[in-house]
Amino acid sequence: MEKLLMPSVLCGIILGSTTLVWANPGDTLWTRTYGGSSGDEAYSVQQTTDGGYIIAGSTTSFGAEGTDFYLVKVEGDEMGLPDNEFPENTPAAVALCGNYPNPFNAQTIINYQLPAASDVKLDVFNLLSQKVATLVNCRVKAGQHNVSWEASQYSSGIYFYRLSAEEKVFTKRMTLLK
């Protein structure tokens, strides 16, 4: 089987119990359905250096009396992909992959990636374009990063988070529900 060189910048989302992973929005690498007969959600998909994926989420399936957390490691070949070669474990470009969960209640995790050490600023704004929080304002090493925003003191509504790194600016939207 021909070797596939996987891109370093990957993002993933979960729709119901179907996992979608893409290199760039619109370029789906694979989809796979996980879960049981009840409510299943996943909050993060991260590629590992060995070509597999780690999926984190929660479930009320499988006899759970409440909501259970799960962490699943799958191999790249379980996704129907050929063996992967990784020249390095550093992202190819700056990427703001999104936040999870979204919508959220009280706390969310924002994911971003850097190809090299960079001065990073990650701010949160309300609908009036007022800055309500600065989550990162320092030099950050290359790689994948997760930042938590504790939003219990803020009102329900739509907020925007803006990542500035390497003279690039990315903005995404998130919804706080209480």
- How far is Cα of residue 24 from the mean position of the Cα atoms in its chain? 13
CA distance 110 to 121: 13
State pTM to two decimals: 0.53
pLDDT at 9: 43
Structural domain boundaries in the chain: 4-85, 95-176
pLDDT at 98: 84
Query: Which CATH architecture does the domain made up of 95-176 adopt?
Result: Sandwich (2.60)
Q: Is the pLDDT of residue 6 over 50?
A: no
Q: What is the pLDDT of residues 131-155, one digit of tens each?
A: 999 999 999 988 888 999 999 999 9
Strands (E), 75-130: 84-85, 95-100, 107-114, 118-125
pLDDT at 136: 93
pLDDT above 70 covers a percentage of the chain that reads 53
Q: Is the pLDDT of residue 7 over 80?
A: no
pLDDT at 137: 93
Q: What is the pLDDT of residues 59-73, one digit of tens each?
A: 665 555 566 666 666
- Which comes out higher in pLDDT, residue 176 or 33? 176
pLDDT band at 160 (very low <50, low <70, confident <90, very high): very high
Q: Is the pLDDT of residue 78 over 90?
A: no
CA distance 89 to 120: 20
Whether 32 contacts 45, CB under 8 Å: no
